[in-house]
Amino acid sequence: MQNLLDFIADSPTPFHAVANISHRLESAGFRRLEEGEAWQIAEPGDYFVTRNDSSLIAMRLDRISGETGFRMIGAHTDSPCLKIKPNATNCSNGYVTLAVEVYGGALLNPWFDRDLGVAGRVTVKTASGAMTSLLLRIDEPVAFIPSLAIHLDRKANEQKSVDRQKHLPAVMLRSDDGKYDFHTLLKSWLCRAYPELDIDRVLSFELSLYDCQPPAAVGLGGEFIASARLDNLLSCHGAVEALLSAGGRANRLIVLNDHEEVGSASSSGAAGPFLASVLARLCRDEETLSRSLEHSMLVSADNAHGVHPNFAERHEPGHRPLINEGPVIKINHNQNYATNSESEALFRAVCELNGIKHQSFVVRSDLGCGSTIGPITATRVGVRTVDVGVPQLGMHSIRELAGVKDQQYLADALRGFFEYPDWPF
Protein backbone atom coordinates (compact mmCIF):
# COMPACT_ATOMS: atom_id res chain seq x y z
CA MET A 1 0.00 0.00 0.00
CA GLN A 2 2.76 2.46 0.95
CA ASN A 3 4.32 1.65 -2.41
CA LEU A 4 1.16 2.91 -4.18
CA LEU A 5 0.92 6.05 -2.02
CA ASP A 6 4.57 6.88 -2.70
CA PHE A 7 4.10 6.33 -6.44
CA ILE A 8 1.10 8.69 -6.59
CA ALA A 9 2.85 11.30 -4.42
CA ASP A 10 5.88 11.17 -6.73
CA SER A 11 3.76 11.35 -9.91
CA PRO A 12 1.97 14.73 -10.06
CA THR A 13 1.78 14.55 -13.89
CA PRO A 14 1.77 11.80 -16.58
CA PHE A 15 5.39 12.78 -17.37
CA HIS A 16 6.42 11.99 -13.81
CA ALA A 17 4.37 8.77 -13.72
CA VAL A 18 6.06 7.49 -16.90
CA ALA A 19 9.53 8.50 -15.63
CA ASN A 20 8.91 6.69 -12.31
CA ILE A 21 7.56 3.54 -14.01
CA SER A 22 10.46 3.55 -16.50
CA HIS A 23 12.90 3.70 -13.62
CA ARG A 24 11.15 0.81 -11.87
CA LEU A 25 11.19 -1.31 -15.05
CA GLU A 26 14.87 -0.60 -15.69
CA SER A 27 15.68 -1.66 -12.11
CA ALA A 28 13.83 -4.92 -12.83
CA GLY A 29 15.99 -5.54 -15.91
CA PHE A 30 13.62 -4.30 -18.65
CA ARG A 31 15.41 -2.86 -21.68
CA ARG A 32 14.27 0.48 -23.10
CA LEU A 33 13.41 0.51 -26.79
CA GLU A 34 13.42 3.71 -28.84
CA GLU A 35 10.65 4.09 -31.43
CA GLY A 36 13.09 5.75 -33.83
CA GLU A 37 15.61 2.91 -33.80
CA ALA A 38 15.66 -0.61 -35.28
CA TRP A 39 14.43 -3.16 -32.75
CA GLN A 40 16.36 -6.34 -31.99
CA ILE A 41 13.82 -8.31 -29.95
CA ALA A 42 14.97 -11.46 -28.18
CA GLU A 43 12.38 -13.99 -27.00
CA PRO A 44 11.99 -14.43 -24.18
CA GLY A 45 12.79 -10.84 -23.21
CA ASP A 46 11.58 -7.83 -21.20
CA TYR A 47 11.23 -4.45 -22.90
CA PHE A 48 9.50 -1.08 -22.63
CA VAL A 49 9.00 1.92 -24.85
CA THR A 50 7.60 5.39 -24.16
CA ARG A 51 5.95 8.00 -26.37
CA ASN A 52 5.81 11.74 -25.65
CA ASP A 53 7.30 10.97 -22.21
CA SER A 54 3.68 10.52 -21.09
CA SER A 55 2.59 7.09 -22.44
CA LEU A 56 4.33 3.76 -21.92
CA ILE A 57 4.15 0.19 -23.17
CA ALA A 58 6.04 -2.53 -21.28
CA MET A 59 6.18 -6.21 -22.17
CA ARG A 60 7.43 -9.55 -21.00
CA LEU A 61 7.67 -11.58 -24.17
CA ASP A 62 7.72 -15.35 -24.24
CA ARG A 63 7.32 -16.38 -27.87
CA ILE A 64 5.59 -14.36 -30.60
CA SER A 65 3.74 -16.37 -33.23
CA GLY A 66 0.39 -16.72 -34.93
CA GLU A 67 -0.59 -19.33 -32.31
CA THR A 68 0.16 -17.22 -29.23
CA GLY A 69 -1.59 -13.99 -28.38
CA PHE A 70 -0.86 -11.14 -26.00
CA ARG A 71 -2.35 -10.77 -22.56
CA MET A 72 -2.65 -7.02 -22.21
CA ILE A 73 -3.60 -4.60 -19.43
CA GLY A 74 -4.44 -0.98 -20.25
CA ALA A 75 -4.78 2.08 -18.03
CA HIS A 76 -4.33 5.85 -18.34
CA THR A 77 -1.66 8.11 -16.90
CA ASP A 78 -3.56 11.43 -16.96
CA SER A 79 -6.08 12.92 -14.55
CA PRO A 80 -8.28 16.02 -14.76
CA CYS A 81 -6.40 19.06 -13.48
CA LEU A 82 -5.61 22.73 -14.06
CA LYS A 83 -2.92 23.41 -16.68
CA ILE A 84 -1.00 26.68 -16.81
CA LYS A 85 -1.69 28.92 -19.81
CA PRO A 86 1.25 30.05 -22.03
CA ASN A 87 1.26 33.72 -21.02
CA ALA A 88 0.61 32.67 -17.48
CA THR A 89 0.81 35.63 -15.18
CA ASN A 90 -1.57 38.54 -14.78
CA CYS A 91 -1.21 41.43 -12.38
CA SER A 92 -4.38 43.02 -11.11
CA ASN A 93 -5.71 44.56 -7.91
CA GLY A 94 -2.37 44.06 -6.16
CA TYR A 95 -1.93 40.36 -6.92
CA VAL A 96 0.01 38.27 -9.39
CA THR A 97 -2.25 35.44 -10.55
CA LEU A 98 -1.67 32.41 -12.72
CA ALA A 99 -4.04 31.80 -15.65
CA VAL A 100 -5.17 28.17 -15.93
CA GLU A 101 -6.96 25.96 -18.43
CA VAL A 102 -9.22 23.18 -17.16
CA TYR A 103 -7.92 19.82 -18.40
CA GLY A 104 -10.58 17.11 -18.69
CA GLY A 105 -13.76 16.78 -16.64
CA ALA A 106 -12.40 18.16 -13.37
CA LEU A 107 -14.67 18.60 -10.39
CA LEU A 108 -13.75 22.24 -9.84
CA ASN A 109 -15.08 23.15 -6.40
CA PRO A 110 -12.51 21.00 -4.54
CA TRP A 111 -9.64 22.96 -6.16
CA PHE A 112 -10.41 25.99 -3.99
CA ASP A 113 -8.47 26.52 -0.76
CA ARG A 114 -5.74 23.96 -1.49
CA ASP A 115 -1.98 24.30 -1.26
CA LEU A 116 -0.94 23.98 -4.90
CA GLY A 117 2.43 23.03 -6.37
CA VAL A 118 3.54 23.19 -10.01
CA ALA A 119 4.78 20.25 -12.09
CA GLY A 120 5.22 19.09 -15.67
CA ARG A 121 7.60 19.27 -18.64
CA VAL A 122 9.55 22.31 -19.79
CA THR A 123 11.51 22.60 -23.03
CA VAL A 124 14.55 24.85 -22.84
CA LYS A 125 17.45 26.02 -24.94
CA THR A 126 20.84 25.59 -23.30
CA ALA A 127 23.80 27.95 -23.74
CA SER A 128 25.27 25.55 -26.33
CA GLY A 129 22.12 25.97 -28.42
CA ALA A 130 20.72 22.49 -27.71
CA MET A 131 16.98 22.07 -27.17
CA THR A 132 16.10 19.76 -24.31
CA SER A 133 13.00 18.81 -22.32
CA LEU A 134 13.17 18.69 -18.54
CA LEU A 135 10.85 17.41 -15.84
CA LEU A 136 10.00 20.05 -13.28
CA ARG A 137 8.33 19.69 -9.92
CA ILE A 138 7.94 22.49 -7.40
CA ASP A 139 6.64 20.61 -4.39
CA GLU A 140 5.94 23.75 -2.43
CA PRO A 141 2.59 25.50 -2.13
CA VAL A 142 3.39 28.32 -4.54
CA ALA A 143 -0.23 28.92 -5.60
CA PHE A 144 -3.68 29.03 -4.02
CA ILE A 145 -7.23 29.56 -5.33
CA PRO A 146 -9.09 31.25 -2.47
CA SER A 147 -12.85 30.88 -2.05
CA LEU A 148 -14.98 33.97 -1.90
CA ALA A 149 -16.13 34.60 1.68
CA ILE A 150 -19.72 33.60 2.38
CA HIS A 151 -20.39 37.18 3.57
CA LEU A 152 -19.79 38.34 -0.03
CA ASP A 153 -21.80 35.50 -1.57
CA ARG A 154 -24.75 34.67 0.69
CA LYS A 155 -26.04 32.01 -1.71
CA ALA A 156 -22.72 30.11 -1.83
CA ASN A 157 -24.12 27.07 -0.04
CA GLU A 158 -27.27 26.90 -2.16
CA GLN A 159 -25.99 27.70 -5.62
CA LYS A 160 -22.23 27.70 -5.97
CA SER A 161 -21.17 27.59 -9.60
CA VAL A 162 -17.63 28.02 -10.90
CA ASP A 163 -16.86 30.39 -13.76
CA ARG A 164 -13.72 28.73 -15.11
CA GLN A 165 -12.42 31.92 -16.72
CA LYS A 166 -13.07 34.33 -13.83
CA HIS A 167 -12.84 32.26 -10.67
CA LEU A 168 -9.87 29.95 -11.22
CA PRO A 169 -6.77 32.16 -11.67
CA ALA A 170 -4.50 31.11 -8.80
CA VAL A 171 -2.95 33.67 -6.45
CA MET A 172 0.86 33.52 -6.44
CA LEU A 173 2.14 36.81 -5.08
CA ARG A 174 1.08 40.12 -3.51
CA SER A 175 2.62 42.77 -5.72
CA ASP A 176 1.87 46.28 -6.88
CA ASP A 177 4.28 45.94 -9.79
CA GLY A 178 2.29 45.76 -13.02
CA LYS A 179 4.61 43.20 -14.65
CA TYR A 180 5.67 39.71 -13.70
CA ASP A 181 7.48 37.33 -16.04
CA PHE A 182 6.56 33.67 -15.56
CA HIS A 183 9.40 32.52 -17.86
CA THR A 184 11.95 34.20 -15.57
CA LEU A 185 10.45 32.42 -12.58
CA LEU A 186 10.49 29.12 -14.48
CA LYS A 187 14.11 29.58 -15.44
CA SER A 188 15.10 30.21 -11.82
CA TRP A 189 13.25 27.03 -10.75
CA LEU A 190 14.98 25.03 -13.48
CA CYS A 191 18.43 26.39 -12.63
CA ARG A 192 17.83 25.28 -9.04
CA ALA A 193 16.65 21.79 -10.14
CA TYR A 194 19.37 21.30 -12.79
CA PRO A 195 22.50 23.14 -11.54
CA GLU A 196 24.65 21.13 -13.99
CA LEU A 197 22.83 22.60 -17.02
CA ASP A 198 23.58 26.00 -18.49
CA ILE A 199 20.01 27.02 -19.34
CA ASP A 200 19.72 29.96 -21.72
CA ARG A 201 15.96 30.33 -21.88
CA VAL A 202 12.60 28.61 -21.57
CA LEU A 203 10.98 27.90 -24.94
CA SER A 204 7.73 26.21 -23.92
CA PHE A 205 6.06 24.21 -21.17
CA GLU A 206 3.25 21.82 -20.23
CA LEU A 207 2.70 22.47 -16.54
CA SER A 208 -0.12 21.67 -14.15
CA LEU A 209 -1.11 22.73 -10.70
CA TYR A 210 -1.42 19.89 -8.20
CA ASP A 211 -2.30 19.39 -4.55
CA CYS A 212 0.78 19.34 -2.30
CA GLN A 213 -1.06 17.31 0.35
CA PRO A 214 0.30 13.76 0.10
CA PRO A 215 -1.96 10.67 -0.19
CA ALA A 216 -3.10 9.19 3.12
CA ALA A 217 -4.91 6.21 4.64
CA VAL A 218 -8.11 7.62 6.19
CA GLY A 219 -11.20 6.34 8.02
CA LEU A 220 -11.59 4.85 11.49
CA GLY A 221 -9.72 1.69 10.53
CA GLY A 222 -7.53 3.35 7.92
CA GLU A 223 -9.38 1.34 5.28
CA PHE A 224 -9.67 4.13 2.70
CA ILE A 225 -7.08 5.81 0.50
CA ALA A 226 -7.55 9.58 0.08
CA SER A 227 -5.49 11.02 -2.76
CA ALA A 228 -5.40 12.95 -5.99
CA ARG A 229 -5.14 10.97 -9.27
CA LEU A 230 -6.38 7.62 -7.92
CA ASP A 231 -8.18 7.69 -11.30
CA ASN A 232 -6.10 6.32 -12.81
CA LEU A 233 -2.64 6.00 -11.28
CA LEU A 234 -4.02 3.30 -8.98
CA SER A 235 -4.65 1.10 -12.04
CA CYS A 236 -1.28 2.01 -13.61
CA HIS A 237 0.39 0.89 -10.40
CA GLY A 238 -1.60 -2.37 -10.32
CA ALA A 239 -0.67 -3.08 -13.95
CA VAL A 240 3.05 -2.58 -13.26
CA GLU A 241 2.85 -4.77 -10.12
CA ALA A 242 1.12 -7.52 -12.11
CA LEU A 243 3.67 -7.39 -14.92
CA LEU A 244 6.61 -7.59 -12.51
CA SER A 245 5.18 -10.30 -10.23
CA ALA A 246 3.39 -12.69 -12.63
CA GLY A 247 4.93 -16.11 -13.17
CA GLY A 248 4.25 -18.65 -15.91
CA ARG A 249 4.77 -18.28 -19.63
CA ALA A 250 2.77 -15.99 -21.90
CA ASN A 251 3.32 -12.77 -23.85
CA ARG A 252 2.32 -10.08 -21.36
CA LEU A 253 2.03 -6.38 -22.06
CA ILE A 254 0.84 -3.25 -20.29
CA VAL A 255 -0.17 -0.08 -22.13
CA LEU A 256 -0.49 3.16 -20.16
CA ASN A 257 -1.88 6.02 -22.26
CA ASP A 258 -2.02 9.76 -21.74
CA HIS A 259 -5.00 11.93 -22.79
CA GLU A 260 -7.83 9.59 -21.74
CA GLU A 261 -9.53 12.40 -19.85
CA VAL A 262 -9.82 14.48 -23.02
CA GLY A 263 -11.01 11.72 -25.35
CA SER A 264 -7.76 9.84 -26.15
CA ALA A 265 -7.30 11.42 -29.59
CA SER A 266 -3.57 12.19 -29.73
CA SER A 267 -0.38 10.53 -30.98
CA SER A 268 0.19 9.07 -27.51
CA GLY A 269 -3.49 8.55 -26.57
CA ALA A 270 -5.41 5.29 -26.90
CA ALA A 271 -7.07 6.50 -30.13
CA GLY A 272 -3.62 7.07 -31.64
CA PRO A 273 -1.35 4.45 -33.24
CA PHE A 274 1.03 3.73 -30.33
CA LEU A 275 -0.15 0.23 -29.33
CA ALA A 276 -1.01 -0.84 -32.90
CA SER A 277 2.44 0.23 -34.03
CA VAL A 278 4.24 -1.66 -31.24
CA LEU A 279 2.21 -4.84 -31.89
CA ALA A 280 2.90 -4.62 -35.63
CA ARG A 281 6.64 -4.31 -35.01
CA LEU A 282 6.60 -7.24 -32.57
CA CYS A 283 4.64 -9.49 -34.94
CA ARG A 284 6.62 -8.33 -38.02
CA ASP A 285 3.96 -9.29 -40.59
CA GLU A 286 0.22 -8.76 -41.01
CA GLU A 287 -0.65 -12.46 -41.00
CA THR A 288 1.08 -13.09 -37.66
CA LEU A 289 -0.44 -9.92 -36.17
CA SER A 290 -4.01 -10.78 -37.19
CA ARG A 291 -3.72 -14.35 -35.97
CA SER A 292 -2.05 -13.29 -32.76
CA LEU A 293 -4.76 -10.72 -31.97
CA GLU A 294 -7.40 -13.42 -32.22
CA HIS A 295 -5.63 -15.20 -29.33
CA SER A 296 -5.31 -11.97 -27.31
CA MET A 297 -7.30 -10.06 -24.71
CA LEU A 298 -7.06 -6.65 -23.02
CA VAL A 299 -8.11 -5.88 -19.47
CA SER A 300 -8.84 -2.14 -19.45
CA ALA A 301 -8.42 -1.04 -15.84
CA ASP A 302 -9.93 2.29 -14.83
CA ASN A 303 -11.69 3.22 -11.61
CA ALA A 304 -15.45 2.72 -11.26
CA HIS A 305 -18.12 4.65 -9.36
CA GLY A 306 -18.70 3.09 -5.96
CA VAL A 307 -22.12 3.80 -4.47
CA HIS A 308 -22.04 7.00 -2.38
CA PRO A 309 -23.95 6.59 0.90
CA ASN A 310 -25.49 10.08 0.57
CA PHE A 311 -26.44 9.67 -3.09
CA ALA A 312 -27.27 5.97 -3.41
CA GLU A 313 -30.19 6.74 -5.76
CA ARG A 314 -27.65 7.73 -8.44
CA HIS A 315 -26.86 4.06 -8.93
CA GLU A 316 -28.87 1.33 -10.65
CA PRO A 317 -30.49 -0.95 -8.05
CA GLY A 318 -28.61 -4.23 -7.89
CA HIS A 319 -25.45 -2.59 -9.29
CA ARG A 320 -24.10 -0.57 -6.39
CA PRO A 321 -20.39 -1.38 -6.05
CA LEU A 322 -18.98 -1.07 -2.53
CA ILE A 323 -15.48 -0.01 -1.58
CA ASN A 324 -13.23 -2.88 -0.44
CA GLU A 325 -15.50 -5.50 -2.04
CA GLY A 326 -13.28 -6.12 -5.05
CA PRO A 327 -12.87 -4.97 -8.65
CA VAL A 328 -15.93 -3.92 -10.64
CA ILE A 329 -16.72 -5.32 -14.09
CA LYS A 330 -18.24 -2.47 -16.13
CA ILE A 331 -20.93 -3.25 -18.65
CA ASN A 332 -22.54 -1.00 -21.27
CA HIS A 333 -24.03 -2.62 -24.35
CA ASN A 334 -23.86 0.69 -26.20
CA GLN A 335 -20.07 0.14 -26.13
CA ASN A 336 -19.12 2.90 -23.72
CA TYR A 337 -17.45 -0.09 -22.08
CA ALA A 338 -15.97 -2.83 -24.25
CA THR A 339 -16.90 -5.75 -21.99
CA ASN A 340 -18.67 -8.64 -23.71
CA SER A 341 -19.90 -11.92 -22.25
CA GLU A 342 -16.69 -13.77 -23.21
CA SER A 343 -14.24 -11.21 -21.84
CA GLU A 344 -16.39 -10.84 -18.71
CA ALA A 345 -16.46 -14.61 -18.24
CA LEU A 346 -12.68 -14.83 -18.42
CA PHE A 347 -12.24 -12.04 -15.86
CA ARG A 348 -14.76 -13.72 -13.51
CA ALA A 349 -12.93 -17.03 -13.91
CA VAL A 350 -9.62 -15.32 -13.05
CA CYS A 351 -11.15 -13.81 -9.90
CA GLU A 352 -12.76 -17.09 -8.85
CA LEU A 353 -9.55 -19.07 -9.36
CA ASN A 354 -7.68 -16.57 -7.15
CA GLY A 355 -10.42 -16.15 -4.53
CA ILE A 356 -10.95 -12.45 -5.35
CA LYS A 357 -14.35 -10.86 -4.75
CA HIS A 358 -15.76 -8.92 -7.70
CA GLN A 359 -18.80 -6.76 -8.50
CA SER A 360 -20.57 -5.42 -11.55
CA PHE A 361 -21.66 -1.97 -12.66
CA VAL A 362 -24.13 -0.71 -15.21
CA VAL A 363 -25.23 2.93 -15.29
CA ARG A 364 -28.84 3.97 -14.59
CA SER A 365 -30.83 4.26 -17.81
CA ASP A 366 -31.58 7.92 -17.07
CA LEU A 367 -27.92 8.93 -16.64
CA GLY A 368 -25.13 9.26 -19.20
CA CYS A 369 -22.38 6.66 -19.10
CA GLY A 370 -18.67 7.45 -18.81
CA SER A 371 -16.11 5.67 -20.94
CA THR A 372 -12.49 4.50 -20.82
CA ILE A 373 -9.63 3.51 -23.08
CA GLY A 374 -11.24 0.02 -23.33
CA PRO A 375 -13.61 0.56 -26.26
CA ILE A 376 -11.17 2.95 -27.95
CA THR A 377 -8.32 0.43 -27.83
CA ALA A 378 -10.66 -2.40 -28.88
CA THR A 379 -11.72 -0.32 -31.90
CA ARG A 380 -8.20 0.81 -32.80
CA VAL A 381 -6.45 -2.55 -32.41
CA GLY A 382 -9.26 -5.11 -32.76
CA VAL A 383 -8.75 -6.95 -29.49
CA ARG A 384 -11.41 -8.45 -27.22
CA THR A 385 -11.60 -6.36 -24.06
CA VAL A 386 -13.08 -6.28 -20.58
CA ASP A 387 -13.50 -3.00 -18.68
CA VAL A 388 -12.87 -3.27 -14.96
CA GLY A 389 -11.71 -1.04 -12.10
CA VAL A 390 -11.76 -0.50 -8.36
CA PRO A 391 -14.79 1.33 -6.95
CA GLN A 392 -14.07 4.84 -5.74
CA LEU A 393 -15.91 7.94 -4.53
CA GLY A 394 -15.44 11.53 -5.65
CA MET A 395 -14.11 10.68 -9.09
CA HIS A 396 -12.29 13.65 -10.69
CA SER A 397 -12.08 15.54 -7.40
CA ILE A 398 -8.65 16.84 -6.38
CA ARG A 399 -8.89 14.32 -3.54
CA GLU A 400 -10.63 11.05 -4.33
CA LEU A 401 -11.45 8.11 -2.07
CA ALA A 402 -10.76 4.42 -2.77
CA GLY A 403 -10.26 1.26 -0.70
CA VAL A 404 -7.03 -0.13 0.72
CA LYS A 405 -8.16 -3.73 0.09
CA ASP A 406 -9.35 -2.99 -3.44
CA GLN A 407 -5.97 -1.85 -4.71
CA GLN A 408 -4.55 -5.23 -3.63
CA TYR A 409 -7.53 -7.14 -5.07
CA LEU A 410 -6.99 -5.37 -8.40
CA ALA A 411 -3.25 -6.06 -8.48
CA ASP A 412 -3.94 -9.73 -7.61
CA ALA A 413 -6.65 -10.04 -10.28
CA LEU A 414 -4.38 -8.49 -12.92
CA ARG A 415 -1.58 -10.85 -11.96
CA GLY A 416 -4.09 -13.73 -12.07
CA PHE A 417 -5.08 -12.67 -15.59
CA PHE A 418 -1.45 -12.79 -16.71
CA GLU A 419 -1.03 -16.26 -15.12
CA TYR A 420 -4.43 -17.80 -15.97
CA PRO A 421 -3.73 -21.43 -16.95
CA ASP A 422 -6.75 -22.37 -19.09
CA TRP A 423 -6.48 -19.64 -21.76
CA PRO A 424 -9.58 -20.08 -23.94
CA PHE A 425 -8.70 -17.86 -26.92
Residues near Co ion, by CB under 5 A: 231-232, 302
Number of neighbouring beta carbons within 10 Å of residue 71:
26
Q: Please report which helix (H) or strand (E) contains residue 111, including its range.
A: none
Q: Can you point out the beta strands (E) in 111-160?
A: 116-126, 131-143
Q: Which is nearer to Co ion, 185 or 328 (CB)?
A: 328
Contact 267, 257 (CB under 8 A): no
Question: Following CA atoms 207, 170, 191, 132 in sequence, which dihedral angle do they give, to the nearest 10 degrees?
Answer: 20
Q: Which is nearer to Co ion, 96 or 328 (CB)?
A: 328
Pairing relationship of beta strands 70-76 and 95-103 according to DSSP bridges: unpaired
> Least distance to Co ion from the beta carbon of 260, Å?
6
389-to-54, 117, 165 alpha-carbon distances in Å: 21, 28, 33
> Least distance to Co ion from the beta carbon of 65, Å?
34
> Least distance to Co ion from the beta carbon of 192, Å?
34
> Least distance to Co ion from the beta carbon of 240, Å?
17
The full DSSP string for 268-321 is: SSTTSSHHHHHHHHHH-SHHHHHHHHHT-EEEEE--EEPPPTT-GGGS-TT---
> Least distance to Co ion from the beta carbon of 223, Å?
22
Distance, CA of 165 to chain centre: 26
> Least distance to Co ion from the beta carbon of 396, Å?
8
Q: Which is nearer to Co ion, 208 or 288 (CB)?
A: 208
Calpha distance 62→243 (Å, rounded): 13
> Least distance to Co ion from the beta carbon of 415, Å?
21
Helix locations, 133-198, DSSP H: 182-193
> Least distance to Co ion from the beta carbon of 303, Å?
6
Calpha distance 222→13 (Å, rounded): 26
Nearest CA to 364 out of 417, 307, 317, 400 is that of 317
392-to-224, 231, 291, 370 alpha-carbon distances in Å: 10, 9, 37, 14
Q: Which is nearer to Co ion, 231 or 406 (CB)?
A: 231
